[in-house]
C-alpha cells in the first residue's frame, strides 16, 4: 500500500514544512566535501623559518624542536633551493650567534659580515628568486637576551629604535627582501621605513610583528637561537599582554600608519581571534607565526603516539586560513609543501 503524500503546507500561513534539513548530505562524499570547501591551504601561504649557524656542511638538531635543524650557510642555501622547488615563496632567517660574540649592546647586529648578512649574500647569489625575510631585534646578539638596549633594568625605547634602524639597513645592504621587526619597540616601523627610503631601499618590504605577545610558547625557539639561558627576566615591558585584543588593533593601526606593508600576529593558534579581527578590521596582508612551542607541542605528542603529526599539522594550518591569515610562518613549511605537492 502506498503511503499518502504529505499534506500540502503553506509557510505563508505559518505552517511548518515537513522538510528535514540534512547538513550531512554535503559531507557524504570526497568530491562533495571538496566542492563545498570554503578555504584552501596552498604552498603560496608558507614562510619557512630557518636557523643558521657558523661553519660548513653542518646540520645540528634542535633538541626542543624534533625535525628542525640549525644549518650552516651552505646547507641553508640547499634548503632554500629545495624550498623554491617546492613552491614556498619565502624563508625567514634566524641566526644562532656564537656566545663569545654577544655583548650588552648587541653590536654584531651592525656587523656587515655577521652570520645573517653572509647568509643573505649567499642566498641572493645562489637562489635569487626566493623571498628572504629577516628578523629585526637584538636578541640573537645581546648577552642579556633582550630585543633592545638595556639601561639598568630598563629596555630603553628610543636608543633601541636607533639600533634597530642600523640593523635593518645592515640587512637591506646585504640583500634582505623583507625587514621583519619583532622587537615591539614604539615607533620603529616609521623610523626603519624612513631610513630605508633615504638609502634608496624603497623596494624593501616591511612585515611588522605588529601584535606580538609575551608568550610562553617561544621557549623552544630561544633554545634554537641560544638566547634562552641568557634571558634576564622576561619581555613583558615591550611584548603584549595576552589578555588584550583592542590593544592589538591599536598596534596594527599604528604600524600601518608608519608604513608596514604586512602585519603579523604572534603566536598563532592561541591568538586566532586576533588574526581574525586584524583581517576583518584592516583588510591588509595579515600573517600568523605558528611559533616554536606550537610546533613542538604537535611533534612531541606525535612522538608519544598521541596525535597524528601530519593531520594535526594540516589542520592547524588550515585553521589560520579559516581565521583569515594570508600566510603562516611555520616550521612545518617544507613538510606541508611536500604533502601538498603529492596531493596534486
The residues annotated as belonging to the active site are 212, 266
Nearer to ligand PBG, 175 or 267 (CB): 267
* Chain residues in the site for ligand PBG (CB under 6 A): 135, 137, 139, 147, 182, 218, 221-222, 235, 291-292
Least distance (Å) from ligand PBG to the CB of residue 17? Answer: 53
Please, which residues have CB within 8 angstroms of residue 171's CB and are 6 or more apart in sequence?
116, 117, 120, 134, 136, 179
Least distance (Å) from ligand PBG to the CB of residue 222? Answer: 6
Count the helices and strands in the chain (H runs, E runs): 11, 12
Q: What residues pair up with 90 in beta bridges, in sequence order?
A: 47, 131
- Asked if residues 107 and 114 have their Cβ atoms less than 8 Å apart, the reply is no
Least distance (Å) from ligand PBG to the CB of residue 212? Answer: 7
Q: What does the alpha-carbon distance between residue 135 and residue 293 come to, in Å, rounded to a whole number?
A: 18
Least distance (Å) from ligand PBG to the CB of residue 316? Answer: 14
- Running DSSP on this structure, what letter comes out for residue 102? -
Ramachandran angles phi, psi of 288, nearest 5°: -125, 145
Least distance (Å) from ligand PBG to the CB of residue 311? Answer: 22
Least distance (Å) from ligand PBG to the CB of residue 157? Answer: 15
Residue whose beta carbon is closest to ligand PBG? 221
Nearer to ligand PBG, 182 or 316 (CB): 182
Nearer to ligand PBG, 56 or 241 (CB): 241
Cα–chain center distance at 104: 27
Q: How far is CA 88 from CA 129, 225, 268, 334, in A?
A: 11, 23, 19, 8
- Asked if residues 125 and 133 have their Cβ atoms less than 8 Å apart, the reply is no
Q: What does the alpha-carbon distance between residue 53 and residue 73 come to, in Å, rounded to a whole number?
A: 7
Please, which residues have CB within 8 angstroms of residue 116's CB and are 6 or more apart in sequence?
52, 93, 95, 134, 171, 174
Nearer to ligand PBG, 139 or 255 (CB): 139
Q: What residues pair up with 288 in beta bridges, in sequence order?
A: 265, 328
Nearer to ligand PBG, 201 or 213 (CB): 213
Nearer to ligand PBG, 201 or 332 (CB): 332
Amino acid at each position: 500500500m502506498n503511503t499518502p503524500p504529505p499534506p500540502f503546507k503553506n509557510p505563508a500561513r505559518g505552517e511548518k514544512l515537513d522538510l528535514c534539513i540534512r547538513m550531512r548530505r554535503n559531507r557524504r562524499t570526497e568530491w562533495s566535501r571538496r566542492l563545498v570547501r570554503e578555504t584552501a591551504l596552498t604552498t603560496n601561504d608558507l614562510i619557512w623559518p630557518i636557523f643558521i649557524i657558523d661553519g660548513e656542511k653542518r646540520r645540528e638538531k634542535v633538541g626542543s624542536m624534533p625535525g628542525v635543524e640549525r644549518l650552516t650557510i651552505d646547507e641553508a642555501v640547499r634548503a632554500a633551493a629545495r624550498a623554491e622547488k617546492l613552491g614556498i615563496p619565502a624563508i625567514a632567517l634566524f641566526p644562532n650567534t656564537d656566545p663569545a660574540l654577544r655583548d650588552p649592546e648587541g653590536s654584531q647586529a651592525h656587523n656587515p659580515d655577521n652570520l645573517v648578512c653572509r647568509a643573505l649574500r649567499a642566498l641572493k647569489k645562489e637562489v635569487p628568486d626566493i623571498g628572504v625575510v629577516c628578523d629585526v631585534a637584538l636578541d640573537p646578539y645581546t648577552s642579556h637576551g633582550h630585543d633592545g638596549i638595556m639601561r639598568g633594568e630598563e629596555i630603553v625605547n628610543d636608543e633601541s629604535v636607533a639600533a634597530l634602524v642600523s640593523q635593518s639597513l645592515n640587512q637591506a645592504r646585504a640583500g634582505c627582501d623583507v625587514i621583519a621587526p619583532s622587537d615591539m619597540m614604539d615607533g620603529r616601523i616609521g623610523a626603519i621605513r624612513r631610513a630605508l627610503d633615504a638609502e634608496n631601499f624603497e623596494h624593501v618590504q616591511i612585515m611588522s610583528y605588529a601584535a606580538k605577545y609575551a608568550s610562553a610558547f617561544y621557549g623552544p625557539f630561544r633554545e634554537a637561537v641560544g638566547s634562552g639561558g641568557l634571558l634576564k627576566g622576561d619581555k613583558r615591558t615591550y611584548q603584549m599582554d595576552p589578555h588584550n585584543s583592542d590593544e592589538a588593533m591599536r598596534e596594527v593601526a599604528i604600524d600601518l600608519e608608519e608604513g608596514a606593508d604586512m602585519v603579523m600576529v604572534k603566536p598563532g593558534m592561541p591568538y586566532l581571534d586576533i588574526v581574525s579581527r586584524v583581517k576583518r578590521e584592516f583588510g591588509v596582508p595579515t600573517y600568523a607565526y605558528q611559533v616554536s612551542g606550537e610546533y613542538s607541542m604537535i611533534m612531541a605528542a606525535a612522538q608519544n603516539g598521541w596525535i597524528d603529526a601530519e593531520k594535526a599539522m594540516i589542520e592547524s594550518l588550515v585553521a589560520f586560513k579559516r581565521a583569515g591569515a594570508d600566510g603562516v610562518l611555520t616550521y612545518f613549511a617544507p613538510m606541508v609543501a611536500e604533502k601538498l605537492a603529492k596531493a596534486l
